[in-house]
Structure 1
Amino acid sequence: MVDAAETNWMDVLDDVMGDQPRKYRGKVLQRWHLNASTTCWVYFIAAEETDMLDSPIKIGISNHPYARLAEMQQVCPAKLIILAVAPGGAAMEKRYHERFVSHRLHGEWFSRNPELLKLIRYWKVRYPLNAEVK
């Protein structure tokens, strides 16, 4: 079994795309994120706590949270990690955005707060980050 946590998605893209120009890799990653034929996950991503103790948390959706993480990492100077994932699509993501609207910083980014951290702990126990979540 492949450990998705250890997967470097840019290496996977290099293998898949061969000699094609690197500029196309972002488009490929975008296609991987939302595809109705596979499980959709609500993800919670933030900077690694050693980098930013009070870093904001992004609540988003993707069929491939680790591919999404790899894409986000390319434009973020801090090391990002997936805190947790939960099954669900756009409707579930919208519910979480509405639930934490008072903590919204910008777009899909929310400040850390006790209720959000409790939700993350809940999902972290139920869906440990492993090869099932890619």
Structure 2
Amino acid sequence: MANRSAPDGPGAREGYVYFIQEWPCEDGPIKIGFSGDVGERLRVLRSKTRLDLHVIGWFPATLSVERDLHKRFSAIRLHGEWFEATPELLGVVELVRALHNEAGK
């Protein structure tokens, strides 16, 4: 796994910011994370829990974007990278999904 503390700038670590949630639990906590391989990250997370976790949104980004989202939603942080599923956070997830679907057309 690459160094999560790599500096931002021209050589900033690139990958994907993702949102993971237990399924079907629309009001359950949401994990905001960063990975170079979202599918592999989901596989690892699933291996550590009995919860039925699913990726509910993702987009190409740098590690600094994940950090910014953690700061933005710090008031609803439950623990680690898990956040309460507030209407505002769910709105961000919906926006990401809409933009991702539009870009794929």
TM range (shorter): 0.7 to 0.9
Alignment of 1:1-134 (within 5 A): 30=1, 39-49=14-24, 52-128=25-101
1:73 Cα deviation after fit: 0.3
TM-score relative to the length of structure 2: 0.80
More strand by share: 2
Q: What amino acid is the match of 2:55?
A: I
More helix by share: 1
**RMSD (Å), alpha carbons:** 2.0
- Figure out how many residues of one structure are paired with residues of the other and give that number: 93
**Unmatched runs of 5 consecutive residues or more in structure 2:** 3-10
Q: Which residue of 1 aligns with 2:5?
A: none
1:54 Cα deviation after fit: 2.4
TM-score relative to the length of structure 1: 0.63
In the alignment, is the contact (CA less than 8 A) between 2:32 and 2:66 conserved in 1? Answer: yes
Larger of the two Rg values belongs to structure: 1
Over 2 Å off, 4+ runs: none
**Using the alignment, how far apart are the partners of 1:123 and 1:81 within structure 2?**
15
**Unmatched runs of 5 consecutive residues or more in structure 1:** 1-29
**Using the alignment, how far apart are the partners of 2:26 and 2:89 within structure 1?**
15
